[in-house]
Amino acid sequence: MTVDLSRYSSFQHLLFDRPAAGVLRVTINNADKMNAIGGDLGREIIAVWDVIDRDPDTRAAIVTGAGRAFSAGGSIDDMPSGRRDALDVFCKGFDDARALIAAIIGMRKPLVSAINGAAVGAGLAVALLADIPIASKTAKLFDGHLRLGVTPGDHAAMIWPLLCGLAKAKYYLLTNEVLTGEEAERINLVALAVDHDALQDKAVDVAARLAATAPNAMRMSKYVLNHFLRENQTVLDLSLAFEMVNFGSDESNEAIRAMQARETPDFPPPRVEFR
């Protein structure tokens, strides 16, 4: 049977296939850069969820990454540097991150993430905001924001305490310790962790079960459960604002410089302390 995916033809950085009846799989396709989200890909990953919602042939979706990564997060090339007082830069970063999160939370159809490899920052936001995140046991998950000298702002402060509790959220967000998929399941950061070779089959199986469920009842159930995320909107806005303020600061510039040079950052005492 011919599969019609023509409504997705305008997407140049996402791949689409139908692995089961009523199921659409979206593959983030920037493998050369570990599926970093930025530029046109960033715009596509915001826009695609609404297109899926309007697709009558899709009742559930999967998102995964091409190659060995799920998504390494935002592209360093797109991060503001030395321009923290430029309101347009602040607003664009804030609006783009907020739009991505709102698009996934507001998606009416159920979404499964198949976390096949490294998931960092904005990439981890896509993975964890899915209704059912499923990770390869060997996948590497970490927030990464503090490594850039900025506040965890694109999802973490909003959803991590809901998933794994405040104590674990603080530990992993403040230390930036890397979690394997298996460890992420243990602390309830993801729904399931499976052997790497079984990941895609498991994601398809779960998505097919969701697709076979009464569609309106499914959508209403998702809407109710996502109420807890909508309640945390003020936490999201505050953390995003802090993140955008941090970018371009001396601390962030040093963190990014050291990362690119593969050196340990040297943070001097702040000229003005946040109190």
What's the mean pLDDT in 169-183? 97
**Residue 193 pLDDT level (bands cut at 50, 70, 90):** very high
Pairing label, strands 192-194, 69-71: unpaired
Q: How far apart are CA 68 and CA 49, in angstroms?
A: 23
Domain 6-261 in CATH: superfamily?
2-enoyl-CoA Hydratase; Chain A, domain 1 (3.90.226.10)
Q: State residue 153's pLDDT score.
A: 83
Mean model confidence pLDDT for the chain:
93
Query: Comparing C-alpha atoms, which of 73, 81, 74, 69 is closest to residue 255?
Result: 81
Reply yes or no on whether the pLDDT at 82 is more than 80: no
**Residue 90 pLDDT level (bands cut at 50, 70, 90):** confident
Reply yes or no on whether the pLDDT at 128 is more than 80: yes
Residue showing tokens 């570990």? 34
pTM of the full predicted structure? Answer: 0.93
Domain boundaries, the chain: 6-261
**Residue 78 pLDDT level (bands cut at 50, 70, 90):** low
> What CA–CA distances, in Å, run from 269 to 29, 272, 274?
41, 9, 12
3-state secondary structure of 159: helix
Among 50-59, 70-79, 113-122, 198-207, the range scoring the smallest mean pLDDT is 70-79
DSSP 37: B
Task: Please give the single-letter amino acid code of residue 47.
Answer: A
- The per-residue pLDDT for range 153-163, each reduced to its tens digit, is 888 999 999 99
The token pair at 263 is 């050196």
DSSP of 204-259: HHHHHHHHTS-HHHHHHHHHHHTHHHHHTHHHHHHHHHHHHHHTTSHHHHHHHHHH
Q: State residue 79's pLDDT score.
A: 58
**Residue 178 pLDDT level (bands cut at 50, 70, 90):** very high
What's the mean pLDDT in 110-130? 97
Q: Are 120 and 66 in contact (CB under 8 A)?
A: no
